[in-house]
Amino acid sequence: KDTNFIRNICTIAHIDHGKTTFVDRILELTKAVDLRQMHEQFLDQMDIERERGITIKASPVKVIYNYTGQEYEINIIDTPGHVDFSYEVSRSMAACEGAVLIVDASQGVEAQTVAHAYLAVDNDLDIIPVINKIDLPNANIEETATEIISLLGVKKDEILKISAKTGQGVKEVLDAIIERVRPPKGDPNKPLKALIFDAKYDKYRGIVVYVRIFDGTVKVGDKILIMSTNQQYEVSEVGIFTPDMKPTDVLGPGEVGYIIAGIKEIGHAKVGDTITSATNPVAEPLPGYREIKPMVFASIFPGLPEYFEELKKALEKLKLNDWALTFEPTRSPALGFGFRCGFLGLLHMDVVRERLEREFEIAVILTAPNVEYKVVLRNGETIFVNDPAKFPDEGEIEKVYEPFVKLSIITPTDYVGDIYTILQNERRATLLHTENAGKNRVVMYFKAPLAEIITDFFDRLKAVSRGYASMDYEFLGYEESDVVKITILVNKEPVDALSTVVHKSKAYQVAKKLVEKLSELIPRHQFEIPIQAKAFGRIIARADIKALRKDVLAKCYGGDVTRKMKLLEKQKEGKKRLREIGKVTIPQEAFLAILRID
């Protein structure tokens, strides 16, 4: 196949700027699928994605476009629009030569527009800037154009203006893809070199690996090798996306398609890895492969203990098509058996929880999210701790390091002051620099501890900017930090699931808020329950839950004082006993409450 007639592009945009609608219009224009079928199949994504208006993974699609009498094959790869998945965005881009950057004319350039645009520049893509939603009455085309020009340094007449809704201007984007994006290069006679840019688990066919071929060819019966794991497989099917999977004889240089080869687990075909021929392997894999590690951790417990086995099975199933999810068994004295899980970010965590509840119908308790601390112990050992319950005692610790991120926030200039104040004063962040992005807009770059971003920061940012600011972040590395573990004691017993690790400067404030909140959420019992927060080797905050008071006095109407006294004495004794043997019922909300404390 002549690669001059192939174009590989990805679509990039901030969430809701119209990427899905744009691709729908292209499918319609090129008659790739009929509309009814399209809505049944192409848009048949997970409920959660649809409801939240986010795309985690959409299928790639190949369309045929007739440009001045010549048929071109255009492969369109969708990229996830959210920060949690930015590594996957970058790998999807590595499978392309071009990118269509879509910006909503009523919103302008936002944080993920900037983040994605920079990734596209880093990946050396030919970028086609597109302003979408020009049909909207509040479309601000001029200002959006100015923002795009200052972002990409393009000329004004290079920017296309479309309405993905009405279809206006969409054909011109297809023309621009042919004219401005360079065709892929590759040699069919060289050994196979293919990039895995996505993978999914199919109930009937096992793991389907999405690939872009750079050199060589691949067909049924070929022996292939996945380079990072050094595992060999035999190819049972290759094909293209129409967007349904359609088998073909062979995939060659420049092409985008899929490979099925009896791979059992999605973790064995990771995004970013290179596939080569097992009999004639290339020496070097494609650049850019990185082991992806979860950044946010939380424990998941079944709502009822007898659901433990079901929870385990559900997590195993989820793992088949969610390679970034990690889990291992854990046990909490308060909540019983559960799993300590690792997620890419908060959104990822939320999606997993919702899928457990909706697809598997298991009610779960999710503990407060944490980052992973690197702790150097006095005995010279270095450990990684992502569970506050396992955080070592202060006496054992030499140094603690915590993960930092580079946070980029794009906001109208009006809110710069407030955002700066929140980050600098409340979130231990430092401003790195700011950049203008159009007339009334600024990109602010901060260095911030990830722990400060995974609490309720996104909500705070939205509130303070009336919804206008948007954010993105990337991992920078570990830095030394002054953190301390707060242990919560309920009725004098430590409840590990309620522990938290915070910066020392916030310990008192967080401890106070925590005990107060817990004392509101834990119902009264027959006995008094002290809720205490311990840190720095002592109790630093306390709140008491008063005992339910049986109205003993009412029973001895007007009886003599000594009888009253005796009864009170008895009840006091009873209280003591109860306190010793008593078990406090802690409602689930109490565990969830810490999610909202900061």
Annotated binding residues: 16-21, 132-135
Based on the shown chain and the rule CB under 6 A, indicate whether residue 135 belongs to the binding site for ligand GDP: yes
Phi, psi of 559 (to 5 degrees): -65, 175
Based on the shown chain and the rule CB under 6 A, indicate whether residue 211 belongs to the binding site for ligand GDP: no
Least distance CB 491 / ligand GDP (angstroms): 48
What is the chain's alpha carbon radius of gyration, rounded to the nearest angstrom? 28
Based on the shown chain and the rule CB under 6 A, indicate whether residue 235 belongs to the binding site for ligand GDP: no
Listed ranges 127-135, 145-153, 200-208, 456-464: which one lies at the site for ligand GDP (CB under 6 A): 127-135
Cα–Cα distance measured from residue 216 to residue 472, given in angstroms and rounded to the nearest whole number: 37
Based on the shown chain and the rule CB under 6 A, indicate whether residue 52 belongs to the binding site for ligand GDP: no
Query: Which residue number, 80 or 272, has a Cβ lying nearer to ligand GDP?
Result: 80
Least distance CB 152 / ligand GDP (angstroms): 19
Q: What angle do CA 223, 226, 232 make, to 5 degrees?
A: 40
Q: For residues 275 and 194, is the Cβ–Cβ distance under 8 A?
A: yes
Based on the shown chain and the rule CB under 6 A, indicate whether residue 136 belongs to the binding site for ligand GDP: yes
Based on the shown chain and the rule CB under 6 A, indicate whether residue 44 belongs to the binding site for ligand GDP: no
Around 530, how many Cα atoms within 13 Å sit in the side-chain half-sphere? Answer: 14
Closest CA to 243 of 439, 22, 58, 491: 58
Query: Which residue number, 117 or 533, has a Cβ lying nearer to ligand GDP?
Result: 117
Query: Which residues, listed in sequence order, are joined to residue 410 by a DSSP beta bridge?
Result: 443, 470
Query: Which residues, listed in sequence order, are joined to residue 70 by a DSSP beta bridge?
Result: 67
Based on the shown chain and the rule CB under 6 A, indicate whether residue 426 belongs to the binding site for ligand GDP: no
Among 5, 15, 52, 512, binds ligand GDP (CB under 6 A): 15
Based on the shown chain and the rule CB under 6 A, indicate whether residue 116 belongs to the binding site for ligand GDP: no
Query: Which residue number, 177 or 502, has a Cβ lying nearer to ligand GDP?
Result: 177
Query: Which residue number, 81 or 345, has a Cβ lying nearer to ligand GDP?
Result: 81
Based on the shown chain and the rule CB under 6 A, indicate whether residue 17 belongs to the binding site for ligand GDP: yes
Among 164, 181, 320, 531, binds ligand GDP (CB under 6 A): 164
Based on the shown chain and the rule CB under 6 A, indicate whether residue 53 belongs to the binding site for ligand GDP: yes
Least distance CB 177 / ligand GDP (angstroms): 18
Cα–Cα distance measured from residue 401 to residue 475, given in angstroms and rounded to the nearest whole number: 14
Torsion 576-580-583-586 (CA) sign: positive
Q: Total residues contacting ligand GDP (rule CB under 6 A)?
A: 18
Q: What angle do CA 407, 48, 294 make, to 5 degrees?
A: 40
Distance of CA 41 to the CA centre of its chain: 25
Among 3, 8, 20, 519, binds ligand GDP (CB under 6 A): 20
For residue 568, count other CB atoms closer than 10 A to its CB: 12
Q: For residues 3 and 217, is the Cβ–Cβ distance under 8 A?
A: no
Cα–Cα distance measured from residue 3 to residue 255, given in angstroms and rounded to the nearest whole number: 8
Based on the shown chain and the rule CB under 6 A, indicate whether residue 18 belongs to the binding site for ligand GDP: yes
Listed ranges 145-153, 158-166, 281-289, 315-323: which one lies at the site for ligand GDP (CB under 6 A): 158-166
DSSP string for 229-242: TTEEEE--EEEEES
Among 38, 45, 121, 165, binds ligand GDP (CB under 6 A): 165
Report the binding-site residues for GTP: 16-21, 132-135
Q: For residues 259 and 253, is the Cβ–Cβ distance under 8 A?
A: no
Based on the shown chain and the rule CB under 6 A, indicate whether residue 19 belongs to the binding site for ligand GDP: yes
Give the total residue count for the chain: 598
Based on the shown chain and the rule CB under 6 A, indicate whether residue 481 belongs to the binding site for ligand GDP: no
DSSP β-ladder status, 364-366 and 218-219: unpaired
Q: Which residue has the tokens 């109490």?
A: 590
Tell which positions 65-94 bind ligand GDP, by CB under 6 A: 81
Query: Which residue number, 54 or 448, has a Cβ lying nearer to ligand GDP?
Result: 54
Contacts with ligand GDP by CB under 6 A lie at: 13, 15-21, 53, 55, 81, 132-133, 135-136, 163-165
